[in-house]
Structure 1
Amino acid sequence: MKTLKTCIIALVLLSVITGCKKEESKTSVPAAENAAAEPAVQVVLDMVVKKDDTFEMFYVEDESLDFGDNKTRVKVKGKNESQEIVFNFPDNASIGNLRFDAGENPEQEEMTINKVIIKQKDKELELSAADFFTHFTASGYVKTFPEKFSFKGIKVNNVYDPMIYGNTTLMHILRELKK
């Protein structure tokens, strides 16, 4: 009887020990979850910028043009080929409209847009180069070349301040993206 009791206790302990080891492997975190998470709110411009510059992307949560200080600055290294310019916003940001300040370098050459990607939490909007000027409106400090999907900042009264605003078409799509 004593031997039977000892065997039962040994079997129970063995099953507890092996059961715990299996539980540990079930709760391990997949490698993908350990990787750095991409920001939840992001705007990516795929474009050609030939000279070094600094860009800013402003956002508002409503659909106004009062952008305030909600912005991200990005230094851009000039290249003759396309590059992705990434603007990361706080994860709790809710984009209602955008304003793109297209540089501070008055010597900047004509810039070409290839596409724009707007990420809002788990949703994404991609605008082709052909759609860019139907969703954004240039200020008086920007000369546009829609047939080439490009634009160039210009001086007006010796002031260089090229800005491109999201228009009502973009605001409508952003409203749907937030739902």
Structure 2
Amino acid sequence: MKNLKLLVIVFICFFISCMGKRKTEEKIVEDKLAKQLVREITNRNNINFEHVTVILSFLAKKDDSFQLFYSEDYMLSFNEKDMITTGFKGSNNYQSIVFKLPKNVFPDRYRLDVGSNIEQKWIKIESLQFRYGNNEIFIPQQLISKLLVPNTFIEYNEFENVYNLLTLNVEKNDIYDPYFTCSPELVRLLLEL
């Protein structure tokens, strides 16, 4: 009988501790959702609403266009519906392009495609900025390689501070698709924007 009482007490303690842990995890998720909901409600009711703007300062010698994909679903899935394309003329000087996102769009992830011109062999990035209202995330040249993650079509040359854009041969086909995604550190910064 004492063993049965002891077993019941142990079971009740175990059940209570599991419930406490689950409530803590649920509270964290609820807090995140509440923060997101408050942000969305505040922004939708703000008459002086401004768009999220992304500004890229770069050097590229050939005419080309860059695409900025954005996602609000906390996944790494991107589609052409949520994309902005901006063309530019090649130059020997740094230039900036601006991506202005639609109203009521607050991405948590971005993908920056840095070229559709296969003759564009390299680019230099001077800075990247994310702006919303009075808030800004400014990423200088020395932090770009830490906060943007290149795909296999981009090779970083740290001595020249150049991103080489590669063409890969897959099953006898040349493929050219250089792009960057956000590092986990950048995602955390973007959530605070």
Could you state the TM-score of these two structures normalised by the residue count of structure 2?
Answer: 0.68
Q: Which residue of 2 aligns with 1:131?
A: 143
Using the TM superposition, name which of 106-115 and 142-151 deviates more: 142-151
The question of whether the paired residues in 1 share the 8 Å contact of 2:58 and 2:126 is answered with yes
Q: Which residue of 2 aligns with 1:59?
A: 70
Using the TM superposition, name which of 70-79 and 149-158 deviates more: 149-158
Q: Which residue of 1 aligns with 2:55?
A: 44
Change (3 A) 1:38 1:175: closer
Larger Rg belongs to: 1
The question of whether the paired residues in 2 share the 8 Å contact of 1:50 and 1:108 is answered with yes
2:185 to 145, 163, 169: 169
Partners of 2:75 and 2:60 lie apart in 1 by: 28
Q: What one-letter code is carried by the residue in structure 2 that aligns with 1:127?
A: I
**Aligned-pair distance for 1:121?**
3.5
Q: What one-letter code is carried by the residue in structure 2 that aligns with 1:116?
A: L
**Aligned-pair distance for 1:44?**
0.5
- RMSD of Structure 2 on Structure 1 (CA): 1.8
| Aligned 1:100-179 pairs, distance under 5 A | 100-157=112-169, 158-177=174-193
Change (3 A) 1:53 1:173: same
**Aligned-pair distance for 1:50?**
0.6
Partners of 2:165 and 2:49 lie apart in 1 by: 31
Q: What one-letter code is carried by the residue in structure 1 that aligns with 2:179?
A: M
The question of whether the paired residues in 2 share the 8 Å contact of 1:43 and 1:116 is answered with yes
Structure 1 gap ranges (5+): 1-36
Change (3 A) 1:168 1:79: same
The question of whether the paired residues in 2 share the 8 Å contact of 1:52 and 1:78 is answered with yes
**Aligned-pair distance for 1:151?**
0.5
The question of whether the paired residues in 2 share the 8 Å contact of 1:40 and 1:122 is answered with no
Partners of 1:166 and 1:128 lie apart in 2 by: 15
Structure 2 gap ranges (5+): 1-47
**Aligned-pair distance for 1:164?**
0.8
SS in 1 for 2:192: helix
Q: What one-letter code is carried by the residue in structure 2 that aligns with 1:169?
A: E
**Aligned-pair distance for 1:38?**
10
Partners of 2:92 and 2:50 lie apart in 1 by: 28
SS in 2 for 1:148: coil
Partners of 2:52 and 2:161 lie apart in 1 by: 25
Could you state the TM-score of these two structures normalised by the residue count of structure 1?
Answer: 0.74
% identity of equivalent residues: 28
Q: Which has the higher helix share?
A: 2
